[in-house]
Amino acid sequence: MASTPKLTTTISSSPSLQILCRKLPIAINLPSSSTSRSLPKTLSHLSSLRPRVASVSNHRYYSSSRRFSVRAQNDNGADSDRHYDFDLFTIGAGSGGVRASRFATSYGASAAVCELPFSTISSDTAGGVGGTCVLRGCVPKKLLVYASKYTHEFEDSHGFGWKYDTEPSHDWSTLIANKNAELQRLTGIYKNILNNANVKLIEGRGKVIDPHTVDVDGKIYTTRNILIAVGGRPFIPDIPGREFAIDSDAALDLPSKPKKIAIVGGGYIALEFAGIFNGLNSEVHVFIRQKKVLRGFDEDVRDFVGEQMSLRGIEFHTEESPEAIIKAGDGSFSLKTSKGTVDGFSHVMFATGRKPNTKNLGLENVGVKLAKNGAIENIKQLAVPCAVFAQPPIGTVGLTEEQAIEQYGDIDVFTSNFKPLKATLSGLPDRVFMKLIVCANTNKVLGVHMCGEDSPEIIQGFGVAVKAGLTKADFDATVGVHPTAAEEFVTMRTPTRKIRKESSEGKANVEAKTAV
């Protein structure tokens, strides 16, 4: 009877990858200061000490660390006496799969990764080394965000004395051509990274046959461990006319810029593309089922970003559910919703979520437990910084106010809403919102939230502070860099409101203070 395989989904944190590598029967390098106390309990024996030769960026060097040859206890049914083609076989060469494979070989494991042929738009038969983030997600999206921000910069510049004899114009084809050239460069770099790390790259679609066997387009490979790192793909709901809709993949590779676009969805992908096309002078309408955008984000942030994006000309249609897309004789589209019909769209885009790309991977053959949406259940990470590259952008780490109340009860909330220095001369209505959420009992900072220019860059540093468990007193003791927006996080002294849980009534008591 076949044993259940040790299938793991990738996450970005190194400790999780270390856990995976410790399960491999391979040599593991430990710093020279390491002692037996630092070894995982699963390691059964140690052997000889000798220098390790490794290759980094085409340079060979002798590691100063000591090499302990160790063997982990096998908990996935692998036969210690059997020869396998690889110690680790990864299906999916996106950011997670590439990193995991490189990490494994750096510990001495043999590794392979399979991936579909390159394409800017994903499908059952096309993908590419680099995956969603590099090819049809974070990277190309951010390039288009950069392109779209110039419109606002041109407007800003007038207050600083800049004048233009003619209005700047934008050439969409140049942007897309340059973006695609960069993607080709990046996928080539990823292939070189795998090659330099001695990871075998196999082109094709992988499928799990049994706990230690993977089929790639008819060729069989055996492996001690299997890693699933296939990511997800955009989801378009099944409504009449869905064939006329585009998703985020297609939106990044359109042959022409939309004149008037409907974006269905209120999540971060919808907001990011709304900002992109608005910045490139398209007429943008966003349709959301909820009253507010960004469900799951802090309520104050949701309110603020919606207001700011509306001021930039994006029209939000709230509490409207899509029912059908209708194509007119002139080639334009109408979007029918639960509240009516809006006509004249050149494009209708759905940003209504993504579905795990686990279909037809053979996971059902080996008893892997999947969530209802097809995701493989994995380790939950806390205090992970994230960003929404909307315009204005959002940076956030830790708990929302609502989550903090639920988990801690008594909290202090510090907020600041101000006009940034740049906007004092530009005359534009740009503002910045910042928020700290603090546990009233321990003074620990539970959440940091920001919406405004440079939020993603700023939140990365504060992510370290939240992860480290720093207190509001630590923030207060830090000298702010002046003049910056970021200094506001270390100069907020008076709570905007204090929320205390009243056990007698079971309700939260809010002591509100007027913000200056």
Q: Is 164 exposed, middle or buried (0-12, 13-18, 19+ CB in 10 A)?
A: exposed
Q: Which residue has the tokens 């969603």?
A: 132
DSSP, res 5: P
The answer to whether the CB of 85 falls within 8 A of the CB of 176 is no
Using the Cα atoms of residue 109, residue 377, residue 394 and residue 500 in order, give the sign of their dihedral: negative
C-alpha 290/C-alpha 271 separation (Å) is 14
CB atoms within 10 A of CB 118: 17
Contacts of 428 (CB under 8 A, 6+ apart): 152, 155, 156, 159
Looking at the DSSP bridge assignments, the partners of residue 54 are 61
For residue 392, say if its preceding peptide bond is cis, omega within 30 degrees of 0: yes
Which tokens in the block code for residue 396?
A: 């956030």
Distance separating alpha carbons of residues 47 and 340, to the nearest angstrom: 73
Could you say which of 45, 59, 83, 482 is catalytic? 482
* 482 is a catalytic site residue: yes
User: How many other C-beta atoms are found inside a 10 Å radius of the C-beta of residue 163?
Assistant: 6
SS3 of residue 282 by DSSP: coil
φ, ψ of residue 459 in degrees (nearest 5): -70, -25
**Dist CA 138 CA 446 (whole Å):** 27
Contacts 24+ apart (CB under 8 A), 40-44: 40/72, 42/72, 42/73, 43/70, 43/71, 43/72, 44/70, 44/71, 44/72, 44/73
Q: Which residues contact 344 (CB under 8 A, 6 or more apart)?
A: 260, 332, 334
CA distances from 373 to 232, 236, 238, 354, 458 (A): 11, 14, 16, 10, 34
What is the secondary structure of 126-143 as a DSSP string? Answer: -B-TBHHHHHHSHHHHHH
**Which residues carry out catalysis?**
482
